[in-house]
Structure 1
Amino acid sequence: MFTLFRFLGNKRLFILLFSLIFFIGVMGISFLKRESPTWPEKFISDTIGWTQGLVYKPVSAVAGFFSNVSQIGDWYEENKVLKQTLAHYAKDVARLNALESENERLKEALAFTERQKSKDDYTYRIARVVATSPDAYNRSIKIDLGEKDGIKENMAVMTPQGLIGIINRVFPFHSNVQLITDLNNQSIRLKGISATVRGKEGSSFGIIENYDKEENKLLMTKIKTEDTLEENDIVVTSGKGGIYPEGIEIGVVKSRNVGEFGLTHTAQIEPSADFQHLTEVFIIEMPDVLGE
């Protein structure tokens, strides 16, 4: 029995020494300079490469997926920033355009007041339109000047282009303006306008007391047959009646026709003022009003 154990022990030692020698031999062969690898090396290399390929593809796909997800997040944030920048830019452009438009209007208003100084003794108070009535049968606007600013009822209101109406209600900090497009000979809110033709003040006269909403024209009546009014004449306030000051432009004559009974004529007047885009207006203070 002892001899058997001894033999087996020597056998294990022999196998260990043989394995060591074989391993050293393989290493020696591997370190030799060869033009091509041996078939074991090829087999092992191909096996490892194929295994790495199997592992690399799904790992690469997963890594690429998470990389794309990360990029999507970056793109989303970048897009969000660009949208905010574009919104700010659009807002700034709109504000710049509004300021430029307001600047042009104020320059025009300043030039208007300078021109008026050489024509009459009126004082022109500029006011901003803050609201417009949506009622088609009661056209009025609200301005930001009121009783505290010395505004009174029946003061005439105009733009640099022409007459637009009168103050009909006054509050401490704002006032209502009744537009001449609300003129009606049966209305109690707005009285007729005594009018004449610029340059023909001594030979032309009529009363503007209606507005044709379908034609968008003022109707001037009580024109005498011998009146010198004709098409393309500029109609202005005559100053008679005590409400509308003299010489304020109203509009241009577009047509003249025989009146209803044939005793007088009527004329269609196209208003000079633009009633659709009222932003700033002028309240006219006459010298007698200032002296009260």
Structure 2
Amino acid sequence: MQLFKLLGNKRLFIMLIGLVAFIAIMGFTLGPRASLSWPEKFVKDTVGFVQSVFYKPAAYIAGFFEDVRNMKGIYEENEELRRAVAQYSRESASYNTMKANYEELQDILGFTKNQKERYKYNYRTAQVLSVNSDPNNRTLVVDLGERDGVRPNMSVTTVDGMVGIISSVSNFTSTVKLLTTMDAQDPNPQPISVTAIGKEDKTFGVVESYDEKTNTLLMTRISEDDPIKKGDKIISSGAGGVIPQGMIIGKVLSVQTSQYGQSRTATIEPAAKFDDWKYLIIVFTPEEPE
């Protein structure tokens, strides 16, 4: 009777039933079996669903911040690459400039060596500082002056050919008057006595003017029996004592009879190029005693 009274207590009865069910489930779970029971499946599915509900947003947020960190790293790498490309471009331009200058100086060195073997002159390389493009006063300024031994009327040339003469000198710079300013009507003309290579004892003439329309020099005072012809290379003869012998002037394009019929003239294509100035060569001749 007491047991039934005890069992009549509903709370205790429910606890007892729950304990028995728990022991039964534990025994069933620990026993060997091939598949899960439906309570286990229910619990696992419920836990898995809850985990997925929280895991996916968390994974998305974590991935977002990871992408942000990666984007920052990519941006920094791109900035480094931009700086590297800019540095490479500057170094490439500097290298190309140095290479061009080196090749030009190598050409000048070869030129001066050959000229020294042929003529007893000294040569100094001068850098062009400025260019006056006034058609009536085409001049250049170079970085050698009186302190370097430069004197007025010295010849100035490039590897290709003569470009002009020194017209004035200061302590540190000199002004070069170009052959393109030569004019027979100039009150102070500076004609160049010339001859042809291989015909030094037969061909004579004077270059005294430049034609801007045709970009050619005019050689005058050529005798009727002079063997000069198209294609001859014209150089300075050294007559007159101002322009030294052997300065390359240009090439004969044509020979024609002068307007008076007593002599002939020749049209000369200048050997030098008058459009790109970086370096010039000043010819130092022995100074004549006064």
TM-score over 0.5 (shorter chain): yes
Contact 1:180 1:190 in 2 (8 A): no
CA distance in 2 between partners of 1:27 and 1:188 (Å): 128
Q: Which is worse superposed, 86-95 or 265-274? A: 86-95
Residue of structure 1 equivalent to 2:284: 285
Q: Which is worse superposed, 138-147 or 230-239? A: 138-147
Identity %: 41
Residue of structure 2 equivalent to 1:194: 193
**Matched ranges for 1:157-176 at <5 A:** 157-176=156-175
Q: State the shift of 1:163 in Å.
A: 0.7
Q: In the alignment, is residue 138 of structure 1 matched against residue 137 of structure 2?
A: yes
Residue of structure 2 equivalent to 1:256: 255
Q: In the alignment, is residue 268 of structure 1 matched against residue 267 of structure 2?
A: yes
- CA gap of 1:59–1:251, structure 2 versus 1, over 3 A, is same
Q: In the alignment, is residue 149 of structure 1 matched against residue 148 of structure 2?
A: yes
TM-score, normalised with respect to structure 1 = 0.84
Return 5+ residue gaps in structure 2 as ranges. Answer: none
Give the letter aligned to residue 119 of structure 1: R
Residue of structure 2 equivalent to 1:52: 51
- CA gap of 1:219–1:38, structure 2 versus 1, over 3 A, is same
Residue of structure 1 equivalent to 2:229: 230
Q: Which is worse superposed, 252-261 or 17-26? A: 17-26
Q: State the shift of 1:157 in Å.
A: 0.5
Residue of structure 1 equivalent to 2:77: 78
Q: State the shift of 1:187 in Å.
A: 4.4
Contact 1:184 1:210 in 2 (8 A): yes
The size of the alignment, in residue pairs, is 286
Contact 1:165 1:177 in 2 (8 A): yes
- CA gap of 1:116–1:204, structure 2 versus 1, over 3 A, is same
Give the letter aligned to residue 278 of structure 2: T
The one-character-per-residue Cα deviations of 1:17-46 (angstroms, maximum 9, x if unpaired) are 443443343333322222111122222322
Alignment RMSD (CA, Å): 2.8
The one-character-per-residue Cα deviations of 1:158-203 (angstroms, maximum 9, x if unpaired) are 1222111111222221112122123233446863322222232333
Q: State the shift of 1:231 in Å.
A: 0.7
Q: State the shift of 1:129 in Å.
A: 2.0
Contact 1:195 1:236 in 2 (8 A): yes
CA distance in 1 between partners of 2:13 and 2:213 (Å): 124
CA distance in 2 between partners of 1:89 and 1:18 (Å): 85
TM-score, normalised with respect to structure 2 = 0.85
Q: State the shift of 1:249 in Å.
A: 1.1
Contact 1:127 1:143 in 2 (8 A): yes
The one-character-per-residue Cα deviations of 1:128-166 (angstroms, maximum 9, x if unpaired) are 223333445533222111121121222110122211111
Q: State the shift of 1:237 in Å.
A: 1.3
CA distance in 2 between partners of 1:260 and 1:16 (Å): 142
Moved over 4 A (4+): 187-190
Give the letter aligned to residue 148 of structure 1: R
Residue of structure 1 equivalent to 2:177: 178
CA distance in 1 between partners of 2:76 and 2:213 (Å): 55
